[in-house]
Structure 1
Amino acid sequence: MRDSDSDAAGIVEHFEKALGPITLGWALDSDGTKMPFQIVRFARGSDDNSVGFATIGLSRYALSSPVSGREIRQELFMLAPKSQAPDTVVSLLLQVGSAALGRGRPLLRGDVIGPAGSIAPGSELTALYVTMPVYFPDEFATFTGSEGSVVVAWLVPISTPEADFVALRGWDAFEADLAQKDPDLVDFYRESVTS
């Protein structure tokens, strides 16, 4: 199922309302092959030192939830420090979005991708955690267009011990721990909140 051009434009407007205009965009991967969706960087993020990145066009594909069986359309979203090399974030979004398409399964709150290698050179963070974009107003989490709802899934870089915590205690306990300790979830070089 593919959404209309008006929904694609609406999704861009939805992101730009919170993050400012698109400043960079990618439609080809590092080999020059056309990607199945675009990735864009916005002018702003959640604070003065961050910027937002998102997929645009992933939501053309309705993916079946393994939990509810419902079809879910989504775009992936990341926050990164302004100083972070864009290619690092673009690569992560492309890998994760392409994997979701390949499996035909959306990313759900509490999912962990990885652990694998460092998400950025010198970083102790090795996995991505899927959650709601809590640094923004509630309405940012969902776009509703002519083809229905599109969920904005926030990918948060986490450490291997944090990924283990999610596996052992569950996503709700992990999010409660994050809320209590309040780490900077934008920082690709932050210390793990669990060891």
Structure 2
Amino acid sequence: MGLVEHFEKFLGQIEVGWSVDADGRRMPFQIVRFPQGSGPGTISFATLGLGRYPLTSPNSDIEIRHELLMLAPESLGDGVLPSLIQQVGEETIHSQRPLLRGDVIGPRGPLIPGSQMEALYVTLPVYFPDEFATCEEEDHTIVIAWLVPISASEAHYIVHHGWADFEDRLVEQDPDLTDLGRQPMLLQPETEHESTSRRREGRGDRQPGALQ
């Protein structure tokens, strides 16, 4: 199954795509919009062709090819999201470094006017079945990296307490990660006792999976 078929299996048929930016410059990959997201009233945007660029993980020296995914409310329309994904994708090409699980991009100011979401968090597309996370194409694997809008305070929390702790907080509070208008989570770091207990339970050493 090719990449387009892989996306359309989960997100519906491509509705529209962009291959040039606002200045008429041809982009190194496409941005496409799908009619379905993670649930009712949501849509998806993704890169198409970013995976042609092999990028080397600084953590493991593994070559990673990935496409980027964003989910948003249908009411938001196209807005700035295509250009936002374009910017992030081109930054990975220029840096020759892939986005890894737990990476934070920003804060760089509100993602859309009036939003308290000012950064992007990179993780696995957990709102979908496990098989959506990777696509086998020709002689390589494409990883789907989900860009999650987060607030400045959430970005600060990740930097100081780590992505594993942050994802535990996501599980506990279960915010709607497709809603760019949501309120930031109320975050309190776990105590040393809780952290030690979590490690003893085997949850403190979670690996980043394919985005490592």
Q: 101, 111, 118: which is aligned to 2:110?
A: 118
Residues 13-162 of structure 1 mapped to structure 2, 5 A cutoff: 13-162=5-154
Q: How much has 1:147 moved relative to structure 2?
A: 2.2
1-structure distance, mates of 2:60, 2:138? 23
1:31-74: per-residue Cα shift (whole Å, max 9, x none)?
01001100000011111110011000000000010100111000
> Residue 73 of structure 1: SS of its match in structure 2?
strand
d(CA) in 2 for partners of 1:42 and 1:122? 25
Letter of the 1:17 partner, please give it: K
CA distance in 2, matches of 1:92, 1:60: 20
Tell me the TM-score normalised to structure 1 length: 0.94
What is the total number of aligned residue pairs between the two structures?
A: 187
Look up the SS of the partner of 2:80 in the other structure.
helix
Give the deviation of 1:85 after TM superposition: 3.2
Q: Distance in 2 between matches of 1:184 and 1:70?
A: 32
1: CA distance between counterparts of 2:142 and 2:91? Answer: 18
Q: Structure 1 stretches (4+) deviating beyond 3 angstroms? A: none
Match for residue 3 of structure 1? none
Q: How far apart in 2 are the matches of 1:128 and 1:141? A: 18
Q: In 2, distance between residues paired with 1:117 and 1:32?
A: 25
* Structure 1 partner of 2:208: none
How far, CA to CA, are the matches of 1:88 and 1:63 in structure 2? Answer: 26
Q: Secondary structure at the match of 2:76?
A: coil
Show the counterpart of 1:4. Answer: none
Larger Rg, first or second structure (1 or 2):
2
Paired residue secondary structure (1:22): coil
Tell me the distance in 2 between the aligned counterparts of 1:147 and 1:38. 21
Please give the alpha-carbon distance, in whole angstroms, between the structure 1 residues aligned to 2:9 and 2:74: 19
CA–CA distance in structure 2, aligned partners of residues 61 and 137 of structure 1: 25
Structure 1, unmatched stretches of 5+, are 1-8
Q: Give the secondary-structure state (helix, strand or coil) at the position aligned to 1:117.
A: coil
TM-score (norm 2): 0.86
For residues 190 and 82 of structure 1, what CA distance do their matches in structure 2 show?
15
